[in-house]
């Protein structure tokens, strides 16, 4: 009997322990078993980025005009025949230096000589007809109208002969000025038309070299003939050639919308050749007022396009403004647009800024300009 009682008590003991554990767990969640309260989260203070600022300065300067182009000759010629025909002979080759009046090319004159002879024979016939009608008119055998018609026919034949002789004279090409043949566009035996260039002649005088550039309408309006220019060439690094604006186009080039400008340049003892690449700097006399900022205020520069951070009126926020850098003047960047009077730009700390972040202006910072 005792053995049976012990086995019956084992399940009762296990159930009691299970209830006790559940009561303990439920009691731990109640207020009687609550421990010390967790500390409340502290308010996060908004971080402000310290920055240095500089006041935008204004400066009155004559903004230079920068352009690039090719060196060429103001006396470039493209000689051609007045009439068409077969080229019989070309007496000049590329690179030859020619003198004024030198024979450069000639056509086969078989056709034009025949036209001259035909015109001369027609003139002789017209003169004979006129002489016969004049005799008849004196004998009252011909009317005045016949005499007038014969006279007109003689005059027409005379002018036709003059035209044929003139064309015969221009069936050849002669150099009107001295220079150098830089290109031969046609060869012997080819058929050329009236006005079709056969050669390209460059005059090689010291005052005939020009640089042809294209500028925008804004720059064109600030230029005048006679303005001084500086010319730089890759062929002669470090050499500054003196130039003068010699011609301003009255209209824009329809192909690109830019205005052609011609700058005359002297060789200054250097050897020039057509096609040399040149960069030109022209300093107009007309001055304008520009906004300037320290170079370190410029961020995200891409060519002339860049940005600056401008301090807002509340002194705590900034605004990212796109700017266009006209050129650099020492430690200053000259801007093409006006940023406004008393505006301030960030000079130190800009790489860490966005328009959503607040800043802390360092009043007495070493970069602040007042």
Token output for 263 = 């700058």
Q: Is the pLDDT of residue 159 over 90?
A: yes
Regarding whether 166 and 216 lie in a shared domain, the answer is no
Give the tens place of pLDDT for each residue, 59-83: 777 778 889 999 987 777 888 998 8
Regarding whether 348 and 308 lie in a shared domain, the answer is yes
User: Is the model more confident about 128 or about 344?
Assistant: 128
Give the tens place of pLDDT for each residue, 200-255: 888 766 667 899 999 988 889 888 899 999 999 999 998 999 999 999 999 998 98
Regarding whether 317 and 302 lie in a shared domain, the answer is yes
Q: Is the pLDDT of residue 38 over 70?
A: no
pLDDT band of 44, cuts 50, 70, 90: very low
Regarding whether 325 and 267 lie in a shared domain, the answer is no
Instruction: Return the DSSP state at 80.
Output: B
Highest mean pLDDT among 69-73, 287-291, 337-341: 69-73
The mean pLDDT value for 160-176 works out to 90
The mean pLDDT value for 120-131 works out to 93
Q: Is the pLDDT of residue 153 over 90?
A: yes
Share of the chain above pLDDT 90, in %: 31
Highest mean pLDDT among 12-26, 207-221, 240-254, 283-297: 240-254
Regarding whether 299 and 157 lie in a shared domain, the answer is no
Residues in a beta bridge with 229: 243, 282
pLDDT score at 36: 52
Measured distance CA(298)–CA(324) in Å, rounded: 10
pLDDT score at 94: 87
Strands 359-361 vs 49-55: parallel, antiparallel or unpaired: parallel
The answer to whether position 257 is within a domain reads yes
**Boundary residue ending a domain (249, 264, 282):** 282
Share of the chain above pLDDT 70, in %: 83
The answer to whether position 312 is within a domain reads yes
pLDDT band of 37, cuts 50, 70, 90: low
List Cα–Cα distances, 131 to 37, 137, 154, 156, 252, in angstroms.
Answer: 142, 10, 10, 15, 61
**Dihedral in degrees, nearest 10, Cα atoms 199, 200, 201, 202:** -170
The mean pLDDT value for 12-26 works out to 42
How many CA within 13 A on the CB side of residue 278?
33
The answer to whether position 31 is within a domain reads no
What pTM does this model have? 0.49
The answer to whether position 221 is within a domain reads yes
Decide: 278 and 233 in contact? Cβ < 8 Å: yes
pLDDT score at 215: 92
Measured distance CA(183)–CA(235) in Å, rounded: 22
Decide: 85 and 108 in contact? Cβ < 8 Å: yes
Regarding whether 252 and 225 lie in a shared domain, the answer is yes
3-state SS class at 327: strand
Q: Is the pLDDT of residue 167 over 70?
A: yes
Regarding whether 294 and 154 lie in a shared domain, the answer is no
Regarding whether 277 and 343 lie in a shared domain, the answer is no
pLDDT band of 15, cuts 50, 70, 90: very low
Q: Which domain holds residue 117?
A: 110-170
**Boundary residue ending a domain (250, 282, 314):** 282
Residues in a beta bridge with 13: none
Regarding whether 270 and 236 lie in a shared domain, the answer is yes
3-state SS class at 245: strand
The answer to whether position 254 is within a domain reads yes
The mean pLDDT value for 304-327 works out to 83
pLDDT score at 46: 61
The answer to whether position 1 is within a domain reads no
pLDDT score at 367: 42
Angle between helices 144-169 and 110-138 (to 10 degrees): 160
Query: Which of 129-143, 147-161, 247-261, 336-350 comes out lowest in average pLDDT?
Result: 336-350
The mean pLDDT value for 153-165 works out to 93
- The CATH number of whichever domain residue 324 belongs to comes to 2.40.420.20
pLDDT score at 341: 67
pLDDT score at 117: 93
In degrees, to the nearest 5, what angle opens at C-alpha 223 toward C-alphas 307 and 267?
A: 105
pLDDT band of 89, cuts 50, 70, 90: very high
Domain count, the chain: 3
Regarding whether 308 and 265 lie in a shared domain, the answer is no
Output helix, strand, coil percentages for the chain, rounded to the nearest 5.
25, 35, 40
Regarding whether 353 and 210 lie in a shared domain, the answer is no
- The CATH number of whichever domain residue 245 belongs to comes to 2.40.30.170
The answer to whether position 133 is within a domain reads yes
The answer to whether position 136 is within a domain reads yes
Q: Is the pLDDT of residue 369 over 60?
A: no
Measured distance CA(109)–CA(101) in Å, rounded: 20
Regarding whether 71 and 208 lie in a shared domain, the answer is yes
- The CATH number of whichever domain residue 154 belongs to comes to 1.10.287
Mean pLDDT of the chain: 80
Decide: 281 and 230 in contact? Cβ < 8 Å: yes
């Amino acid at each position: 009997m005792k053995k049976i009682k012990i086995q019956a008590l084992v399940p009762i003991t296990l159930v009691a322990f299970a209830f006790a554990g559940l009561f303990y767990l439920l009691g731990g969640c109640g207020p009687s078993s609550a421990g010390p309260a967790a500390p409340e989260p502290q308010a996060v203070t908004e971080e402000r980025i310290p920055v240095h600022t500089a006041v935008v300065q204004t400066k009155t300067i004559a903004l230079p005009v920068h352009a690039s182009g090719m060196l060429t000759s103001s006396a470039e010629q493209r000689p051609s025949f007045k009439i068409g025909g077969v080229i019989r002979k070309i007496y000049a080759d590329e690179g030859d230096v020619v003198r004024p009046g030198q024979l450069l090319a000639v056509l086969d004159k078989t056709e034009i000589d025949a036209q001259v002879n035909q015109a001369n024979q027609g003139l002789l016939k017209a003169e004979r007809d006129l002489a016969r009608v004049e005799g008849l008119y004196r004998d009252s055998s011909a009317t005045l109208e016949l005499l007038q018609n014969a006279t007109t026919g003689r005059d027409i034949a005379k002018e036709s002969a003059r035209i044929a002789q003139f064309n015969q004279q221009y069936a050849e090409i002669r150099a009107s000025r001295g220079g150098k043949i830089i290109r031969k566009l046609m060869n012997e035996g080819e058929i050329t038309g009236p006005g079709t260039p056969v050669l390209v002649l460059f005059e090689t005088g010291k005052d005939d070299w020009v640089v042809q550039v294209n500028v925008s309408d804004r720059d064109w309006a600030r230029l005048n003939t006679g303005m001084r220019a500086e010319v730089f060439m890759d062929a002669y690094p470090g050499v500054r050639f003196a130039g003068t604006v010699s011609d301003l186009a009255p209209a824009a080039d329809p192909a690109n919308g830019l205005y052609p400008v011609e700058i005359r340049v002297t060789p200054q003892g250097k050897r020039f050749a057509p096609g040399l690449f040149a960069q030109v700097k022209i300093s107009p006399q007309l001055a304008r007022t520009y906004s300037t900022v320290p170079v370190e205020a410029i961020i995200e520069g891409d060519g002339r396009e860049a940005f600056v951070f401008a301090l807002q009126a509340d002194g705590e926020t900034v605004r990212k403004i796109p700017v266009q850098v006209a050129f650099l003047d020492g430690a200053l960047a000259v801007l093409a647009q006006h940023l406004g009077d008393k505006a301030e730009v960030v000079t130190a700390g800009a790489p860490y800024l966005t328009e959503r972040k607040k800043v802390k202006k360092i009043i007495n910072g070493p970069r602040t300009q007042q």
